[in-house]
Amino acid sequence: MPVKNPNKKLNESSGLPKIETLTDPIAIARYGGSKMLIAPPADYDRLMKKIPRGLLTTTDRLRARLAREHGADLTCPLTCGIFVNVAAHASEERNGTDETPWWRTLKKDGELNEKYPGGAANHPSNIL
C-alpha cells in the first residue's frame, strides 16, 4: 500500500470527530472524565494556525480546547501527538503556502517535539 503524503493525511477525517466512552475506572480517574474526543487532524491544524507570533502553546492546551468545543471531558493524547506531527509535516510539504506555525506548539510539559520537521534541533530556530 502506498504511503500517503502528510497533506492527504491532514485532510482525511476517517469518521472523525467521534467521542469514545472510557470504561476503565483508572483511565477515568487519570483523565478526569469518561467522554474522550478523537478529533481529526484538520482540527489540530486549525488551532495551531491561530497561535500568534510571539506566543506558544502546548498540546495539552490544544486538547483541552478541542474537548470543550465538542462537549467531551478530554481529547485522546495519542492521536493528538500523531495529528500535530501530521500538521507540522503537511505545512513543511506546502513550502510556505498556507503555513501552520508548528514550532509554536510544544509538547505537554513545554518540551520541544523531536518528531517535528528537522527534529528538536531545528525547533529553537523557529520558536517565535
pLDDT of residue 120: 84
Contact present, 30 and 76 (Cβ < 8 Å): no
Total number of domains in the chain: 1
Residue 37 has pLDDT above 90, yes or no: yes
Q: Which CATH number do you get for residue 25?
A: 1.10.10.10
- CA distance linking residue 35 with residue 118, whole number of Å: 35
Better pLDDT: 128 or 37:
37
The domain in which residue 15 lies consists of: 6-123
φ and ψ of 9, to 5 deg: -65, -40
pLDDT, one tens digit per residue, over 59-106 is 999 999 999 999 999 999 999 999 999 999 999 999 888 999 999 999
Q: Is 85 among the domain residues? A: yes
Q: Is 71 among the domain residues? A: yes
pLDDT of residue 124: 67
pLDDT of residue 32: 94
CA 98, 115, 21: angle at the middle one, nearest 5? 90
Q: Is 1 among the domain residues? A: no
Q: Is 88 among the domain residues? A: yes
- CA distance linking residue 75 with residue 35, whole number of Å: 8
Q: Which three cell numbers stand for residue 99?
A: 503555513
Q: Compute the average pLDDT of residues 106-128.
A: 85
